Structure 1
């Protein structure tokens, strides 16, 4: 949307804000009125807004009316009577309604208390009202009162045509569509009138003769999916049929998922880095109807008993006739639509089942919220077979955003893609951010990036700080909306089972809330910190994370025993140890299996220890802490990955011991510089600490 007019309060020459009848004691409402009227006069003079123009009001404030709230608190505390006007002015809609009545504004009124960047959330809400056809113009008002009760505000009148490929009202219609879910987003987006010639997905490999890195339009994507659905149907694939998909290319994974979902079948997406013997056992346990594998993975399966036939390759599936595709299966909310798998830290990964409704619950919520900055041109650096990529593809389609999907997520590959494709948002796992920390980012053109979005394991402070130092984002200043240096980083905690990150916290270059803080829960989820019996623990105490969310997986495929082992008193137990503070923020300390009970009420945490070591050692790009409880006590090893040019011969033991703290530091056995290749990891890059503990026990025994 274009900026039609802008005003601030105060501006040079302003004195005391004019009084507004009906609003007392506080400068909050009078400032809103003053800045709004100044902005509207700069557009329309002293005349009312023309009757044919529907003007909405979006009032955004993180602080709210501090002065009124403090007055009410003090009056009640002193036993006094609160004046009746405070019951009126304490509702922000009242001052917005006052402005609407005086100026004849006929659009909706929305008041937001942002959890992230106020301008981003306000402009996103304005765009939503405009693009959904609810308003021709939007008066965006951003106001804050500081603790000393000084008040500043900015008003921006937005209007005109959007420069994005949006269909008016699309996001709102999708959010309200009861048939929409994770299995039919592509079909429903088109059914709701999205432009078939608008952008959809871009892949880093060729698709049926379509060049690599050339965008597929929405119509082309639908045609390529229909071709695969027709071919798979000819092979006998029907609804409810589990089909394993094992390939490397992101295009093979995403298009196979969309095609199988179109048939009502159940794609079982497998990470291409699985060892062949693990992959074969995983396929056997699925008890499906067949396997779709690319040439390289077909060769790896040779000689293994799978129990099901090889149907062909994803490339062969692309040769189907789109016109011969059967009608799109009509999903029920409980229908299974995809099986993904866990990292496999202890062997054969667990098969995670999601339904049409569960894997869409978070997306439906987000479609009803303002669209965040940094989500219109997305680089997807998440593993293609992971639940997170299925989620993000659906979100991109629903938002009518552009998305470029990478088949390989190494640091150098991601940096190259950012420079070539110039996304405004990059989505990935913490392992990718750790890899980027090994590079001198000043040597790369990352100016397009406004947002880094992390899911899976939460990220470490030094890795985040490197990223928020580059790029830019919009913010609100005294002089209005401004583009400022430094990007945003949204951190959290998620997993295949959770169906979406359950927490969120936004970091900027000027923020300082780290220490493994994962922020607050999303509105669609409930969380708890539990003891071993499933009972809530007091605020501040460490316990097991329990989740109750409509986005949760439906269970582990063909493994009811494991499914119910992770359920307790209505909660899904994630296996994480966390604590909450008095302000409702949560902190992730470790995976329970990686922590060690040190006796006397003490527990040692590997992930928290890694955070402390990285913060204390700037010449270390990543580290792994292994804590082992043995018969003769607890022993800790710290493995350091050093920055380029760092002195490998330097003894960092004292620095590391001090960072660990007195209790864990007393158990420190050795500090060892290592290469990244020395650390055993899973197919998604998670460190296999169980293997490192076994290595220690083997060394101790010998």
Structure 2
């Protein structure tokens, strides 16, 4: 590791890493600059802290070389020439040190001496424990150079010292001694000069006999007890710091201030901490079994064994975990290509318990598209049924992968598994270990559980890396925020298990003690009968499902059910009120992505005011939603912009695609590519995908806006709009419509309908009638397929627009 000095010579190892047995020692090593902070120092410090966790260190000691712990930002480093977006990203990147310390599952102990100024002071106090040499001097000089603290210390100082003393320290920049810091509760031990490192190592040694999970839980619960979430505080600090970026203030130290003794360190921010309870899947399942035992947890009406209790799930997960430990190694990927049968979630939970990573493969996949997933993820083992084994074997051959294919029937899910185990106790009656692997390898909440491939509406699917924290953040939001799931609830899911919905339903039901009913597939004709039969109280649907349900003939029992809330994504705005009136239950819009989990939801407080408006609600606790322009600056309420999501529970990135990850995940903030607006109350309204636009003669046309107009016509059940390349206008508007009845709509009538409701540049030129639209596995319209569709369409600008129209989807011209 190296950085470049102001003379242009490389500076070797500004951050050094060594192991002292199970304790990692991370040392800031720029003694000639009193360990002043540069961007490279921050990056390498984050890397060293992560390395300690990856290598299984049980504790970390953070210290500094020479005469000081850290003297703050190096003001002799040339200020970068950057626009506001780059400045924000730099500030957020620097905060990654605080984030990494706080999220580390092992204790981080600061061994402080000499000066701890600015960034150095903030980093030291971000550590879990602090040992300070007696002559250490702490200081926050940011206000003196026109800046503000940016590493979460405003949260800590206010909580520990009270607002008045905290403001005094930050506003005056007054230094304080190690003894004062100990008296205030900011430092644990004050030791003789020169002994800080030895005492810190001894303190680390005293922690080694404590269970690692107990330490991780103590750390997380106490940090969350500070009040405002760390991420919310970090985001606030960056926002405040951005107010001085480019103003000319804060770029130089005041006269007489040495650059090595003052200066800010800044860093990254997203949104409030989620407060999710259990940190790991294997604890979630075990805790659910202990709390609910023989209560029915799962119902698979179509399966050979339709009912599963919480205790039976825990026992089966133990047996399958043992099978995975025998046949794979920690971190191995395990592919699964199964229909909606109990073996899918059992294998998923077992993989999480044993430290393996599940790779779901959709049962509609064929050898070519399955080969992409296998080649990309590199699983060692796959579980399937005879119906799909041939597909996986052919896909593995295409991918050049040596893949062991195991029939689902061979999984030890029954009570007499081949490992001879019976539930959560071993054959000697002792408790089985709660760790993720029989070897006792340590787990972290950030360990991967899934590589979940996106639907691939454009381009090849990318594998989202999803952790324990990701899934539990979703479950906690549904339990603690809305719909406030509890033991009396019954959930229903009909999506394929390879998709997200059934998976988060499993976690949410386990966390809340609710029952989960899993259909073999979605059936508009059967769904409400299922719901009545099983006493369902909450269900989720998306894509074409609301329109398909509404298209069914009315039934006398439409309002004879126990459903209290329907969660849905993409409720057709023109059908929203009709859906509620028919079944007599509120439909709540929700927004989320594979990359970010559960982000926004309409709650009862906003429901009545927002029906049919396209409102997708407010952020769940633990999430933050910003609407920004092309430069990353927040836009005013009412103006359109891109939705940026931050906070707990985001994906870790795309598997094996760092460049694709960097395009969407920037310093902990996910750029969704969705065009939205916010109202004055902070509610978000969905407009369109940023890329779901047509650029016609220099005018931007929102595909969703045109689709909404078309779907309000009684002859149209579903519509989709895509761009059609044009040599004159750049792109033309091309509409695909699905009739609501057997008789196809007349495109000339639809043309006039749109002309009456849309600006002329938004009115489609090309009209294509199809019996159905292609769908992704997540039931979204596959617009990539529509762009490639060369089937029959009517050109409204053709020389003879009165010529006979083509029959629906069978004959006719094309653009």
**TM-score with structure 1 length normalisation?**
0.65
Quote the Cα distance in structure 2 between the aligned partners of 1:540 and 1:447.
Answer: 40
Match of 1:688 in 2: 782
Matching residue within 280, 286, 290 for 1:187: 286
Question: Does the Cα contact within 8 Å between 1:430 and 1:454 map onto a contact in 2?
Answer: no
Mapped pair 1:259 → 2:356: no
Q: Is 1:626 paired with 2:689?
A: no
> Is 1:223–2:315 an aligned residue pair?
yes
Partner-residue secondary structure (3-state), 2:402: coil
- 1:491 paired residue among 581, 586, 589: 589
Alignment partner of 1:337 is 2:449 = yes
Secondary structure (helix, strand or coil) at the match of 1:222 reads helix
Q: Quote how far apart the aligned CAs of 1:672 are.
A: 4.0
Closer, same or farther in 2 for the Cα pair 1:220/1:568, shift >3 Å?
closer
Aligned match of 1:552 in 634, 650, 671? 650
Structure 1 counterpart of 2:335 = 244
* 1:268 and 1:338 in contact (8 A); partners too: yes
Q: How far 1:637 sits from its partner (Å)?
A: 2.8
8 Å contact 2:693–2:702 — kept in the other structure? yes
Q: Deviations over 1:513-539 (max 9, x none)?
A: 433221222222111112222222232
Distance 1:371 1:654 in 2: 42
CA deviations 1:187-207 (Å, max 9, x no partner) are 1223xx413111201114425
Distance in 2, Cα, partners of 1:370 & 1:543: 26
Name the counterpart of 2:615: 517
In the aligned structure 2, how far is the partner of 1:695 from the partner of 1:177?
45
The residue that corresponds to 1:16 in the other structure is none
What do residues 419-461 of structure 1 show as CA deviations (whole Å, max 9, x unaligned)?
4334122222233223213212436545214345445x42212
CA contact (8 A) 2:592 2:600 kept: yes
Deviation at 1:624? 1.7
| The one of 390, 398, 402 aligned to 2:511 | 398
Is the contact between residue 545 and residue 576 of structure 1 (CA under 8 Å) also seen in structure 2?
Answer: yes
Cα offset, 1:323, TM superposition: 4.3
Q: CA shift at 1:336, angstroms? A: 0.9
For residues 469 and 649 of structure 2, the distance between their equivalents in structure 1, rounded to whole angstroms, comes to 8
1:436-492: CA deviations, max 9, x gaps? 13212436545214345445x422124433331234xxxxxxxxxxxxxx1011112
Using the TM superposition, give the Cα deviation of residue 383 of structure 1 relative to its aligned residue in structure 2, in angstroms. 3.0
Q: Distance between the aligned counterparts of 2:646 and 2:610, measured in 1?
A: 30
Confirm whether residue 427 of structure 1 aligns to residue 540 of structure 2. Answer: yes
Q: 1:660, CA displacement in angstroms?
A: 4.9
How much does 1:609 deviate?
2.0
Deviation at 1:511, TM superposition (A): 5.3
Q: How many residues align?
A: 500
1:284 aligned to which of 363, 371, 375? 375
Q: Quick check: 1:520–1:585 contact (8 Å CA) kept in 2?
A: yes
Deviation of 1:410 after TM superposition, in Å, equals 3.6
Name the residue aligned to 1:94.
none
- Checking the alignment, whether the CA contact within 8 Å between 2:719 and 2:738 is kept in structure 1 is yes
What does the per-residue CA deviation read over 1:191-230, in whole Å, with 9 as the maximum and x for residues that have no partner? xx413111201114425xx2x3xx2111122223233223
Q: CA deviation at 1:563?
A: 1.0
Check conservation: 1:256, 1:314, Cα contact below 8 A.
no
- CA gap 1:184/1:269 in 2 versus in 1, 3 angstroms: farther
3-state SS of paired residue (2:719): strand
**Aligned equivalents of 2:280 and 2:325: distance in 1?**
22
Does residue 635 of the first structure (1) align with residue 727 of the second (2)? no
Q: Which residue number in structure 2 is paired with residue 653 of structure 1?
A: 750
- Please say which structure displays the higher CA radius of gyration: 2
- The higher-RCO structure (CA 8 Å, 6+ apart) is 1
Q: 2:410 aligns with which of 282, 302, 316?
A: 316
- 2:292 is paired with a residue of what secondary structure? coil
Please, which runs of 5 or more residues in structure 1 have no aligned partner?
1-174, 472-485
CA distance in 2, matches of 1:564, 1:176: 27
Seen in structure 2, the aligned counterparts of structure 1 residues 508 and 417 have a Cα distance that, compared at 3 Å, is farther
- TM-score, normalised relative to structure 2: 0.57
Q: Secondary structure of the residue that 1:185 maps to in structure 2? A: helix
RMSD of equivalent CA atoms: 3.1
Cα distance in 1 between the residues matched to 2:630 and 2:747: 43
Distance of aligned partners of 1:546 and 1:242 in 2 relative to their CA distance in 1, 3 Å threshold = same
Query: Partner of 1:502: helix, strand, or coil?
Result: strand
- 1:85-142 per-residue CA deviation (whole Å, 9 max, x = no partner) reads xxxxxxxxxxxxxxxxxxxxxxxxxxxxxxxxxxxxxxxxxxxxxxxxxxxxxxxxxx
1:543 matches 2:641: yes
The answer as to whether partners of 1:498 and 1:552 remain within 8 angstroms in 2 is yes
Q: Is the 8 A contact 1:468 1:507 kept in 2?
A: no
Comparing 651-660 with 546-555, greater Cα deviation is found at 651-660
- Partner residue of 2:549? 436
Give the direction of change, closer, same or farther, for the CA distance of 1:273–1:492 in structure 2 (3 Å limit).
Answer: same
Map 1:66-465 to 2 at 5 A.
Answer: 179-190=278-289, 193-207=290-304, 210=305, 212=306, 215-234=307-326, 236-304=327-395, 305=397, 306=399, 307-317=401-411, 318=413, 320-321=417-418, 323-324=420-421, 327-330=433-436, 331-369=443-481, 372=484, 376-442=489-555, 445-454=558-567, 457-465=569-577
Q: Distance in 2 between matches of 1:271 and 1:506?
A: 35
Partner residue in 2 for 1:81: none
CA shift in 2, pair 1:322/1:366, >3 Å: farther
CA contact (8 A) 1:388 1:499 kept: no
Q: Secondary structure at the match of 1:547?
A: strand
Q: Say yes or no: does 1:533 pair with 2:631.
A: yes
